[in-house]
A and B are shown apart, each in its own frame.
Chain A
């Protein structure tokens, strides 16, 4: 089971990112999240990147991509990089529904 993203429905509001951080750290901040909003702002190219246990998952507007350790992250600019240091998604262990799924107002994220 992993988080899945319907990326073109995403509008980049970052509700999921802050919800994820709340799960990990019980506060409001973007710093401890497994999910990160990334963008190339002038191109309006944006999506979410997710730290999974053994890979990075890029929910890109032009299609999903999984990056394994040692592979280069392409696209997303510098804003997609700091995710490498983050704690991995645990599907909000202990919660009925992952908090990002709950927080997203546009039903972009699901578990499958």
Chain B
């Protein structure tokens, strides 16, 4: 391996049908041509397409000193859209994966009986899963107890995934995820209850890289996001329901940041004890972490009980936005009724499209007033709709984006592709105009020791990726009539063409 920086150089290939784990080398040509994350995932997807692969990959910069380099990406065929799609994994999941000693994990076929995958310290084991039948929280607790380590990061499914509901999502530890594409159902069909990660690997780092990264981190912290934090600020940018904004304000305990991120957007809400309580008390489960603001906002009709419904989705492994829409349609107006309905939804075999509810390609929309640019973004169907469909905290002006809806949507898609390929948080990249393509390219050049790398090259790789994945989306673009704003279909065509 020439590339000792940034990657461990290993791809784990797990065949659930044969029960075997193999290790492949992450070839230099793959890194040169595609960098990492969603782009290498797509190459691996094509290679293993016949075996229904689900791929979890880290980015070129995941787990480095680059600000917000927390992300990994799940890539697979979405059972909702029928197309290849990506869901980001954030917080500590991405870094833990890379630290296990594997940069990419390819999960093939189906197991005959429930299993879990334990990846740690350069080793991988397929083990029987006693956790099958447990909810997400009990599963995470059981895994950590079993492996004797509170810092195990887990990608798990709950009852919804086990039952093959299209409303299922994968969960990162206790708190759901940004999976809007039904990868929870895919894991359920594979009889894969959990992927548990723990690693203490080390990667080499180029001289001067640490200083360059901390300089950028400072610049970002003192830039557009200065003095701002939490999910509430993002909610204000998106103009979500005022009631939900008040709930966030009243119940905020502490904000969490994902690995190495200058903007803490993961707000923890406490409602079973005072939000001001900073001690570790006897209340074992005082609240929940907002990892999906759209999910919380969609439960806005429950008022101050919205976070409890979100928590219930986390327990059951349900995609919260779609579930909230189903619960509201069922006429449930209080938390008890909502919980009862959510329990039923874990067995649902139909999703938003079949229920006649608003959707983009079957995927839940942001519960915000529709606008053309945000509709175009959500209709693309490649990246997660849990990510804000526009620039947040700051304004489009900070990023010098053109005024047209098409320009905003094309900017969003390109920015997302860059985040998903490099392993930067896709929310953070929409808050930090200071993180320019030029600066990212300069950091890549430095850390990879690629003398001829440039912003143009980075942009070229991102564009080629978008072009390829958009080519695989032909026939997608189904938009519920309520979301069909004037010009959305023509606009979508234009954006697709512009990105190709």
Contacts and interface: CB of A to CB of B under 8 A. Distances in A.
Q: Tell me, yes or no, whether A binds B.
A: yes
B254 A41 contact: no
A100 to B, nearest CB: 10
A19 B260 CA distance: 10
B67 interface: yes
A85 B261 CA distance: 28
Interface of B: 63-65, 67, 92, 99, 137, 148-151, 173-174, 200-205, 210, 214, 217-218, 220-221, 229, 253-262, 264, 268, 270, 278-281, 283-287, 289
**Count class of interface residues, chain A:** 35 or more
A102 B221 CA distance: 12
Interface string A10-26: 01111100110010011
B284 A42 contact: yes
A26 B259 contact: no
Contacts, number: 112
Contacts of B268: 44
Given A29-B203, A106-B221, A41 B65 contact: no
A78 interface: yes
Contacts of B256: 11-12, 44, 46
Given A28-B205, A30-B200, A41 B150 contact: yes
A11 B266 CA distance: 9
A84 B220 CA distance: 35
Given A11-B255, A11-B256, A13-B264, A43 B150 contact: no
Contact of A105 (B67, B270, B278, B284): B67
Nearest to B152: A79
A18 B202 contact: no
A39 B150 contact: yes
A62 B254 CA distance: 12
Contact of B205 (A14, A27, A78): A27
16 contacts: A13-B264, A14-B92, A31-B202, A39-B150, A42-B137, A42-B285, A43-B280, A46-B254, A61-B278, A62-B280, A75-B280, A79-B150, A79-B151, A102-B214, A105-B217, A106-B262
